[in-house]
């Protein structure tokens, strides 16, 4: 069981302030949604969380490990799905997943079992010997998700896991996320899709221009935004971000 603690996190890219003094606590086993328009800073936050980028200042702890001071131990806990996963297109699905599993130190028999089970549940069984490069976008995303979870991570960091997928693939990816979270995995997922946030996340942080505008479950966000108790998250989101005097990006 791993909780995530982010304290006073700031990230500058040259003169651009991509993240501005962000503090968040994500409980062990919680599904936490990071919701914001393009350019809000979601990917930057997730990349820092998984140790790909260094913060300009601030601290991030995953359980007992600080991601900057103890990256190897912290990274063992994490399964990360990047915004644009890079897969080895010249390997077959099976070769690719075996490769990732071995790098992650998964034992051979356990790895075979995990791969077979995951390919079956995603309906990708007959693609096991196809080159990854020949798979459709949706299939590639499923392979990337399997690769993310082969080592049974305690923390899942998913950067826009459902963006640009067809409806059928979206359903199976949503089911997959639901299954992972039932295992008690601490999950943080970013999205600009309000439905995704509303379906999966217990709590949601609305992020805009590198700042957390609001955090809470959908009901408390509705109260914060002074919207009706049945208001769609979309309306809540627009209210909360408009108060800053700027129009959020539309999709």
Tell me which residues touch ligand ADP (CB under 6 A): 13, 16, 18, 36, 38-44
- Report the alpha-carbon distance of residue 186 to residue 184 in Å, rounded: 6
Question: Minimum distance from CB of 48 to Mg ion (Å)?
Answer: 13
Q: Which of 43, 93, 98, 172 binds Mg ion (CB under 5 A)?
A: 43
How many residues of this chain bind Mg ion (CB under 5 A)? 3
Q: Is residue 143 classed exposed, middle or buried when 0-12, 13-18 and 19+ CB atoms within 10 A define those classes?
A: buried
56 by DSSP, 3-state: which? coil
Residues 80-119, mask of contacts with Mg ion (x by CB under 5 A): ---x------------------------------------
Nearer to ligand ADP, 14 or 105 (CB): 14
- Report the alpha-carbon distance of residue 245 to residue 138 in Å, rounded: 37
DSSP string, 154-209: SEEEEESTTTT--HHHHHHHHHHHHHHHHTT-EEEEEES-HHHHHHH-SEEEEEET
Question: Minimum distance from CB of 18 to Mg ion (Å)?
Answer: 11
DSSP designation for 120: H
- Report the alpha-carbon distance of residue 171 to residue 219 in Å, rounded: 25
Is 180 among the residues that bind Mg ion (CB under 5 A)? no
Nearer to Mg ion, 60 or 119 (CB): 60
Q: Which one of Mg ion, ligand ADP, none is in contact with 44 (Cβ closer than 5 to 8 A by kind)?
A: ligand ADP
DSSP designation for 92: B
Nearer to ligand ADP, 36 or 138 (CB): 36
Q: Which one of ligand ADP, Mg ion, none is in contact with 40 (Cβ closer than 5 to 8 A by kind)?
A: ligand ADP
Nearer to ligand ADP, 42 or 170 (CB): 42
Q: Which one of Mg ion, ligand ADP, none is in contact with 39 (Cβ closer than 5 to 8 A by kind)?
A: ligand ADP
Q: Which one of Mg ion, ligand ADP, none is in contact with 110 (Cβ closer than 5 to 8 A by kind)?
A: none
- Report the alpha-carbon distance of residue 201 to residue 24 in Å, rounded: 15
Q: How, if at all, do strands 31-35 and 186-191 pair?
A: parallel
- Chain residues in the site for Mg ion (CB under 5 A): 42-43, 83
């Amino acid at each position: 069981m791993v909780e995530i603690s982010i304290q006073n996190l700031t990230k500058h890219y040259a003169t651009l302030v991509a993240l501005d003094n962000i503090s968040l606590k994500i409980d062990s086993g919680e599904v936490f949604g990071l919701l914001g328009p393009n350019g809000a800073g979601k990917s930057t936050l997730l990349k820092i969380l998984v140790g790909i980028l260094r913060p300009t200042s601030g601290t991030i702890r995953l359980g007992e490990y600080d991601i900057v001071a103890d990256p190897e131990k912290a990274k063992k806990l994490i399964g990360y799905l990047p915004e644009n996963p890079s897969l080895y297109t010249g390997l077959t699905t099976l070769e690719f997943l075996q490769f990732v599993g071995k790098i992650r130190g998964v034992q051979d028999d356990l790895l075979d079992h995990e791969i077979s089970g995951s390919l079956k549940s995603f309906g990708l069984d007959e693609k096991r010997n196809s080159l990854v490069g020949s798979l459709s976008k949706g299939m590639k995303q499923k392979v990337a998700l399997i690769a993310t979870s082969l080592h049974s991570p305690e923390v899942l960091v998913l950067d826009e896991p459902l963006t640009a997928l067809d409806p059928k693939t979206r359903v199976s990816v949503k089911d997959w996320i639901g299954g992972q979270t039932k295992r008690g995995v601490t999950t943080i997922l970013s999205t600009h899709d309000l439905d995704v946030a509303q379906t999966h996340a217990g709590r949601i942080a609305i992020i805009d221009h590198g700042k957390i505008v609001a955090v809470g479950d959908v009901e408390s966000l509705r109260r914060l935004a002074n919207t009706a108790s049945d208001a769609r998250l979309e309306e809540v989101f627009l209210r909360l971000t408009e108060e800053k005097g700027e129009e959020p990006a539309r999709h």
